[in-house]
């Protein structure tokens, strides 16, 4: 019997036919040991019994054929480009493969070579051809189904060589342990690990390869979820939290003082959070809600629940502008609220909200630090400046982290450690825009989740237009002018120039001057960007809030938090440079009041809508639902960007995809909860425990497996 970690101890050089040259080639593909090798899964399979014959290929369709090279010719085109033309024959007909700018193909594919070609078939001068197809050298492989391994060609290896080493590794491994209890295997109708490991490499049929994939993808997701669930349980069970009072008078007064009634979703979220916070263990909850769904009110209720019992709250935002915005918003939501004063026992004092960022001056910082320690600051709002060692609280009871994907797990942990003594404060993480459910389960899998799935009533959906070409752009500026005439305001967002000159975006200040003298002449045009001194930024925002500015030309610093209900037009220049989430967030700056609003996306006009940028902009025009857009985003960008390497075990995802395997992610999470809760510390599941230990680093190992 063999476990996966055991295979990691066997270097590939111990396999037949792996000399130093092949060892280097394998290393260039990230394969150093036998575990790497057996988890280097085929990219696809060629089924010899049902493969397409060249004679049957249909023009315009993608196809895969196995054929033998009959003639190879290389030359240069009149423009000087290298052109390699290869004629292949499979017994039914001829196919020409044409390669541009890949002169090495002539050497790779000499006459007599057997190769698998994958690509789109078209016809050139009456003959079938593929242009720049994907090529795999199969060599002399027998067998009905041939696995095709990725990356082999770049490393100068043939797919059959890799297949041979994999086969040898499988023979050496003999039987693979199965870490999943039989009970779950039966319930989920999953094949065994050992069968799966063999069948994914040497399947008896294409159907068998699919079953094998299903099982091994599940295993990857299960390992990841087990780590997350163990982390979650470790934090919950070992940490002592503060038993806050749920639904106290302070929260009640706050709710009664709001100028609107809470939505049902907000009320439910606040209740759920109150239940967490009044429990013995610290809260670790994720609050997901679309732009404008009213997350701030929920966050403030959580902070007040801490303040209620004489503790403090902290709100951490990813940028200074956002921290400043939160400070302004929270201060105004809390204005007039009082808390019992310790000095004068009989009277109340105003609740105190303070701001701490890197811009806070030394003297003010010192004052603040003292006030945090003596407890006269109730709620502290700031950037990661909150994480510095010098910031200490008298009794930090609740932390809200406006995550925006920018803080890591470690930073969250640092704030958590700022609680009183060994007590861990309650933590609420907010996302600025929704992320798909499966991604949330993975990126935030150590947290509980609350979804604010409802918008405050009375919002008129924002009309979004993708303005392409000068005519349409002209109508955008007409709209800005007519809205300003009607007493409304507008934003114009232009991308910030990055250090590199290659980024061809125009700087915000140039654009402000240009617009003020052209399209927007006669209007009061303001400027806001991240490089401005804090005072100027505040002045610019104040002027806009006071309606002394009609149009605010800004960089993405206004992306989040800005809340001016009178603004009804959002113009995003070079919108094709932005991602879906960012555009949705920018659009969320309008449509916040009772007036009808518009969002105009400029740029990306050369595309026909089929480009990546075109698909992003098209999605925004079609939908205003952040959860729906998050799914599109995942579809377009893949999971890499969402997952990053932030999650332990994420790099273990070789087969599984958050995109394609949504149900499998949810199932793996369910199984992980079951296993971890029935077998704390994975005692009784030695095979699974061994795999998990292998995946996580030492710190995590101690944390997760402490007994
Ligand atoms: P986000 O979830 O994007 O952070 P905010 O908390 O900024 O949303 O709220 C968006 C706007 O909706 C704010 O102007 C806020 O005052 C308002 N708002 C929040 N809750 C309600 C409600 N229940 N009814 C009406 N307006 C609300
Ligand atoms: Mg608690």
**What pLDDT shows up at residue 387?**
74
For range 445-454, the mean pLDDT:
90
Q: Are strands 82-89 and 62-76 parallel, antiparallel or unpaired?
A: antiparallel
**Residues 448-452, mean pLDDT to the nearest whole number:** 92
Question: How does residue 561 score in pLDDT terms, banded at 50, 70 and 90?
Answer: low
> How many Å lie between the centroid of ligand 2 and the Cα of residue 670?
25
Summarised one tens digit per residue, pLDDT across range 220-262 is: 999 989 998 998 888 777 778 889 888 889 999 999 999 999 9
The pLDDT confidence band at residue 505, using thresholds 50, 70 and 90, is very low
Q: Indicate if the alpha-carbon torsion angle 201, 206, 209, 213 is positive or negative.
A: positive
Nearest atom in ligand 1 to the alpha carbon of residue 560 is 3
The pLDDT of residue 4 is above 90: no
Which ligand 1 atom is the nearest neighbour of the CA of 588?
3
pLDDT(648) > 60: no
Q: Among all ligands shown, which has an atom nearest to the Cα of 565?
A: 1
- At residue 49, the pLDDT reads 67
Mutate to test the pocket of ligand 1, among 291, 294, 327, 450 (most ligand atoms within 8 A of CB): 294
Length of the chain: 707
DSSP 441-482: HHHTTTSEEEEE--PPTTPPPPEEEEE-HHHHHHHHHHHHHH
Note the pLDDT of residue 329. 87
Mean pLDDT across the stretch 287-295? 91
Ligand lying nearest the CA atom of residue 282: 2
Say yes or no to pLDDT of 531 above 90: no
Q: What is the pLDDT of residue 385?
A: 81
The residue nearest atom 17 of ligand 1, judged by CA position, is 294
- Average pLDDT, integer, range 460-475: 91
- Two structure tokens written together for 112: 């007599």
Strand ranges of the sheet holding 448-452, from the earlier edge strand across to the other edge? 353-356, 379-382, 312-316, 396-402, 426-430, 284-289, 448-452
CA-based max dimension of the chain: 98
Phi and psi at residue 428, in whole multiples of 5°? -120, 125
Task: Looking at the CA of 264, name the nearest ligand.
Answer: 1
Q: What is the mean pLDDT of residues 360-384?
A: 93
| Among protein residues, the one whose CA lies closest to atom 15 of ligand 1 | 294
pLDDT (0 to 100) of residue 163: 87
Say if residues 608 and 614 touch (Cβ distance below 8 Å). Answer: yes
- Going by alpha carbons, the residue nearest to atom 22 of ligand 1 is 456
- Measured distance CA(23)–CA(170) in Å, rounded: 18
Task: Ligand 1: list residues with CB < 6 Å.
Answer: 260, 262-263, 266, 289, 291-297, 456, 563, 588, 592
Q: How many CA within 13 A on the CB side of residue 190?
A: 27
pLDDT tens-digit readout, 306-346: 999 899 999 998 887 788 888 988 998 999 898 877 666 66
Instruction: Kindly tell me if the per-residue pLDDT of 609 is higher than 80.
Output: no
Question: Which-ligand-closest: CA of 273?
Answer: 2
- Site to probe by mutation for ligand 1, drawn from 262, 292, 452 as the one with most ligand atoms within 8 Å of Cβ, is 292
Query: pLDDT at residue 379 above 90?
Result: yes
Spatial distance between the Cα atoms of 197 and 218, rounded to a whole number of angstroms: 13
Give, using CA atoms, the residue closest to atom 18 of ligand 1: 294
Answer with the residue of higher pLDDT: 651 or 12. Answer: 12
Q: Which atom of ligand 1 is nearest to the CA of 296?
A: 6
Q: Which-ligand-closest: CA of 424?
A: 2
Sign, Cα dihedral of 341, 342, 343, 347? positive
For residue 275, the CA-to-ligand 2 centroid distance in Å is: 8
**674 C-alpha vs ligand 1 centroid, how far in Å?**
38
Q: Domains in the chain, ordered, with CATH?
A: 50-143 (2.40.50.140), 249-278+293-431 (3.40.50.300), 463-623 (3.40.50.300)
Phi and psi at 172, nearest 5°, equal -65, -40
Confidence at 486, pLDDT banded by 50, 70, 90: very high
Mean pLDDT, the chain, as a whole number? 87
Residue 101's closest CA among 128, 117, 77? 77
The pLDDT tens digits of the residues spanning 8-59 come to 899 999 998 889 999 999 999 889 999 999 999 998 887 766 678 899 998 9
- Assign 194 a pLDDT band (cuts: 50, 70, 90): very high
Q: Are 159 and 152 in contact (CB under 8 A)?
A: yes
* pLDDT beyond 50 at 645: no
Please tell me the distance between residue 261's alpha carbon and the centre of ligand 1 in angstroms.
11
**C-alpha of residue 332 to centroid of ligand 1, in Å:** 13
Nearest Cα residue to atom 11 of ligand 1: 292
Q: Do the Cβ atoms of 38 and 169 come closer than 8 Å?
A: yes
Gap between the Cα atoms of 26 and 31, Å rounded: 5
Q: How does pLDDT run across 114-173, given as a tens digit for each residue?
A: 888 888 999 988 889 999 888 877 665 556 788 888 866 677 787 778 888 999 999 888
CA–centroid distance, 431 to ligand 1, in Å, is 15
pLDDT mean over 200-206 = 92
How far does the centroid of ligand 1 lie from the alpha carbon of residue 485, in Å? 26
What pLDDT score was predicted for residue 510? 86
More confidently predicted of 142 and 273: 273
**13 CA distance to ligand 1 middle (Å):** 62
Nearest to 137 by CA among 63, 69, 183: 69
pLDDT of residue 411: 67
Residue 501 pLDDT = 33
Mean pLDDT value across residues 423-444: 86
% residues pLDDT > 90 (the chain): 49
Query: Which residues 6+ apart lie within 8 Å of 400 measured at CB?
Result: 299, 302, 303, 313, 314, 315, 316, 427, 428, 429, 430
Confidence of residue 407 (pLDDT cuts 50, 70, 90): low
The band of 506, judged by pLDDT with boundaries at 50, 70 and 90, is very low
pLDDT at 578: 87
Task: Spell out the residues 6+ positions from residue 549 whose beta carbon is closer than 8 angstroms to its own.
Answer: 489, 524, 525, 526, 540, 543
* CA–CA gap between residue 86 and residue 100 (Å, rounded): 12
pTM (two decimals)? 0.76
d(CA 609, CA 612): 8
- pLDDT of residue 190 exceeding 90: yes
Q: Which residues fall within 8 angstroms of residue 47, CB to CB, at 6 or more apart? A: 144, 145, 206
């Amino acid at each position: 019997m063999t476990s996966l970690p055991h295979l990691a101890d066997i270097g590939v050089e111990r396999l037949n036919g792996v000399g130093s040259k092949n060892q280097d080639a394998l290393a260039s593909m990230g394969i150093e040991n036998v575990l790497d090798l057996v988890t280097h899964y085929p990219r696809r399979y060629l089924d010899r019994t049902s493969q397409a014959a060249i004679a049957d290929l249909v023009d315009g369709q993608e196809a895969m054929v196995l054929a033998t090279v009959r003639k190879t010719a290389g030359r240069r085109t009149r423009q000087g480009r290298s052109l390699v033309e290869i004629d292949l024959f499979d017994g039914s007909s001829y196919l020409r493969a044409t390669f541009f700018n890949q002169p090495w193909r002539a050497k790779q594919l000499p006459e007599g070579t057997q190769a698998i070609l994958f690509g789109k078939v078209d016809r050139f001068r009456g003959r079938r051809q593929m242009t720049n197809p994907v090529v795999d050298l199969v060599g002399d492989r027998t067998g009905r189904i041939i696995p095709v391994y990725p990356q082999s060609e770049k490393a100068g290896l043939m797919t059959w060589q890799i297949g041979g080493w994999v086969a040898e590794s499988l023979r050496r491994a003999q039987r693979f342990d199965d870490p999943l209890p039989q009970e779950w295997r039966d319930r989920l109708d999953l094949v065994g690990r050992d069968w799966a490991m063999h069948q994914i490499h040497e399947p008896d049929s294409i159907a068998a390869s699919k079953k094998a994939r299903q099982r091994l993808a599940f295993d990857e997701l299960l390992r990841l979820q087990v780590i997350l669930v163990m982390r979650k349980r470790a934090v919950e069970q070992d940490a002592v939290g503060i038993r806050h009072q749920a639904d106290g008078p302070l929260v009640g007064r706050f709710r009664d003082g709001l100028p609107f009634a809470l939505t049902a979703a907000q009320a439910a979220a606040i209740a759920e959070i109150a239940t967490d916070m009044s429990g013995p263990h610290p809260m670790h909850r994720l609050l997901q809600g679309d732009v404008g769904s009213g997350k701030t009110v929920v966050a403030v209720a959580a902070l007040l629940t801490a303040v209620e019992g004489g503790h403090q709250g902290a709100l951490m935002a990813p940028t200074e502008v956002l921290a400043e915005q939160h400070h302004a918003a929270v201060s105004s939501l809390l204005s007039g609220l009082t808390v019992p004063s310790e000095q004068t026992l009989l009277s109340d004092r105003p609740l105190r909200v303070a701001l701490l960022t890197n811009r806070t001056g030394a003297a003010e910082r010192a004052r603040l630090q003292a006030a945090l320690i003596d407890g006269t600051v109730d709620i502290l709002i700031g950037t990661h400046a909150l994480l510095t060692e010098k910031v200490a609280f008298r009794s930090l009871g609740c932390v809200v982290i406006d995550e925006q994907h920018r803080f890591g797990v470690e930073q969250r942990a640092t704030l958590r450690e700022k609680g009183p003594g060994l007590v861990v404060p309650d933590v609420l993480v907010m996302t600025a825009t929704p992320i798909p459910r499966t991604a949330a389960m993975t990126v935030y899998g150590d947290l509980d989740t609350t979804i604010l799935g409802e918008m405050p009533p009375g919002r008129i959906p924002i009309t979004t237009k993708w303005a392409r070409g000068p005519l349409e752009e002209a109508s955008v500026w007409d709209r800005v002018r007519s809205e300003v005439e009607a007493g409304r305001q507008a934003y114009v967002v232009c991308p910030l120039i990055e250090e590199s000159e290659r980024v061809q975006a125009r700087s915000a200040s140039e654009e402000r001057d240009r617009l003020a003298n052209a399209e927007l002449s006669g209007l009061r045009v303001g400027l806001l960007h991240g490089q401005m001194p804090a005072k100027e930024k505040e002045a610019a925002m104040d002027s806009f809030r006071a309606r002394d500015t009609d149009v605010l030309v800004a960089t993405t610093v206004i992306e989040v938090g800005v809340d001016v209900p009178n603004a009804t037009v959002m113009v995003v220049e070079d919108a094709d440079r932005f991602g879906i989430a960012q555009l949705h967030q920018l659009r969320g700056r309008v449509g916040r009041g009772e007036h009808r609003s518009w969002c105009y996306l400029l740029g990306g006009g050369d595309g026909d809508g089929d480009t990546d940028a075109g698909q992003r902009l098209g999605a925004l025009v079609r939908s205003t639902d952040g959860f729906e857009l998050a799914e599109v985003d995942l579809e377009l960008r893949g999971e890499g960007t969402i997952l990053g390497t932030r999650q332990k075990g994420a790099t273990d995802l070789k087969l599984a995809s958050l995109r394609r395997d949504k149900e499998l992610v949810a199932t793996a999470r369910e199984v992980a909860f079951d296993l971890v809760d029935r077998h704390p510390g994975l005692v009784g599941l030695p095979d699974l425990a061994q795999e998990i230990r292998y995946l996580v680093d030492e710190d995590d190992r101690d944390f997760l497996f402490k007994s």
